[in-house]
Structure 1
Amino acid sequence: MAAYYPPVGFHFSVEFTGLSPSESDHQFQSVSGLSVDIETEEIAEGGENRFKHKIPVRTKFPNLVLKRGLLVDSKVIDWCKDAVENFNFKPIDLMVKLLDEKHEPLLSWNVVHAYPVKWSVADFSAEESKVVIETIELVYNYYNTIS
């Protein structure tokens, strides 16, 4: 019987649907924001003073934050710049894939109707020798988990 080992979180890719990105556009240093909260509404019952009923109302998804080393020629950044500079928003779907040792998807998240709301570049410093990191923050409607 083989022992089960949980997957590692450092082997993943991000694919943008509808863009023709280069191979480098799939590689990110980190992805965060793949979580969901269920908002609730409190309802007080007449005569019951010990508690309030909490009823599920809707789901709430935080922004998706992607970080990587700065790319000079990137279709993803062109898409972000079009939104930021021209206020031209073109929502797209993207797929975050957790990969196994054979580079095959182990688990995937289909992020639906995403568009950029923030693009930033890390600070420059002559006192440090480090890679320039760009951060792309996306808002999206929801995601589906695909196994």
Structure 2
Amino acid sequence: MVITQDLDTAVGVSFVVKIDDEDLGVFSSCEGMNCEVVMESREEGGNNAFVWQLPSRLKYANIKLSRPLGPSTAKLASWVSSVAAGYQRKTGVIQAMRADGTIVAEWSLIDVVPVRWTGPSLNSDQPKVLTETLEIAHHGFQAKG
């Protein structure tokens, strides 16, 4: 039995996020990179054997990015607060990177808008790493490469 090793396995340890070429920093967690085909059910007159399942559109989930607080937090907060001043949707990029900085995978996001920023829970009785979470909405993504 021959076992081959794929040296390009996508082991992502960090995720770089850019919005219109502005670097928002490195995140340690990225969730929600998925899409779903919304199906519509149609019953055909005279056909009692089944119901037609027709694809109608794609639905994209919001993406949640998390990381420890750091120097990039101020830049992120500024971008999120820009929505209040009349925001235009932008393009975004998420790059999955190995520990050595090699880009393993990259996705372009269409019409990105920030939905929610969640800061750390501040409690001196339970010392732990302070983290922040960014949630973004978009109109679709495309894998690069």
Q: Please, what TM-score do these two structures have when normalized by structure 1? A: 0.83
Q: Matched residue of 1:67: which SS?
A: strand
1:108-143, CA deviations, whole angstroms, 9 ceiling, x for partnerless residues?
A: 110111111111112112221212111111111110
The one-letter code of the counterpart of 2:139 is N
Q: 1:3 to 1:30 in 2, by over 3 A?
A: same
Q: State the percentage of identical aligned residues.
A: 22
Alpha-carbon distance in structure 1 between the residues aligned to 2:21 and 2:46: 56
Alpha-carbon distance in structure 2 between the residues aligned to 1:118 and 1:11: 21
1:4 aligns with 2:6: yes
Structure 1 stretches of at least 4 aligned residues deviating more than 4 Å after TM superposition: none
> Which runs of 5 or more residues in structure 2 are unaligned?
none
Kindly state the Cα deviation for residue 54 of structure 1 after the two structures are TM-superposed. 0.4
Does the 8 Å contact 2:119/2:133 carry over to 1? yes
Pairwise mapping of residues 1-147 of structure 1 onto structure 2 (< 5 A)? 2-5=4-7, 6-19=9-22, 21=23, 25-71=24-70, 74-83=74-83, 86-100=84-98, 102-147=100-145
Kindly state the Cα deviation for residue 37 of structure 1 after the two structures are TM-superposed. 0.2
Alpha-carbon distance in structure 1 between the residues aligned to 2:26 and 2:99: 16
Q: Matched residue of 1:76: which SS?
A: helix
Kindly state the Cα deviation for residue 4 of structure 1 after the two structures are TM-superposed. 1.7
Alpha-carbon distance in structure 2 between the residues aligned to 1:74 and 1:14: 15
Q: Please, what TM-score do these two structures have when normalized by structure 2? A: 0.84
Q: How many aligned residue pairs are there?
A: 141
Superposition RMSD on alpha carbons, in Å? 2.1
Kindly state the Cα deviation for residue 104 of structure 1 after the two structures are TM-superposed. 2.8
> Which runs of 5 or more residues in structure 1 are unaligned?
none
Kindly state the Cα deviation for residue 87 of structure 1 after the two structures are TM-superposed. 4.9
More strand by share: 2
